[in-house]
């Protein structure tokens, strides 16, 4: 049985009454009544069946070290791909745009 973590709701739901999904921050079910996100964790039994257990949001927010390392590596790879190495002495920057600066300064007189 799952209980909605929303203090104003507090509804109780059986496992077959909710949809458990991974919304990017771990497994969650949304309360059918109020839509609140409630975290769960999956447990695989010896017979191969999967059971879900509700956990507090703080416990679900803790990411295992292996997962955190993999995410950090992927981010570093993406940054390395996007940022080409700049050679010293070459400047291909655009001149400043004409018109009013974003800081509210008046345009220069010509």
Kindly report, residue by residue over 9-43, the tens digit of the pLDDT: 989 999 889 999 988 888 999 999 999 999 999 88
Give the global pTM: 0.51
* Cβ(35)–Cβ(13) below 8 Å: no
Look at 72 and 48; give whichever has higher pLDDT: 48
Cα 16 to chain center, whole Å?
Answer: 26
* Averaged pLDDT, 72-83: 63
**How would you classify the pairing of strands 50-54 and 37-44?**
antiparallel
């Amino acid at each position: 049985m799952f209980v909605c973590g929303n203090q104003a709701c507090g509804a109780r739901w059986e496992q077959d009454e909710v949809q458990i999904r991974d919304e990017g921050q771990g497994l969650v079910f949304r309360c059918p009544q109020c839509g609140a996100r409630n975290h769960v964790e999956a447990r695989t039994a010896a017979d191969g069946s999967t059971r879900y257990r509700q956990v507090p949001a703080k416990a679900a927010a803790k990411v295992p070290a292996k997962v955190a390392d993999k995410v950090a590596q992927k981010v570093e790879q993406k940054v390395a791909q996007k940022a080409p190495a700049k050679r010293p002495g070459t400047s291909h920057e655009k001149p400043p745009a004409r018109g009013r600066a974003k800081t509210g300064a008046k345009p220069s007189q010509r």
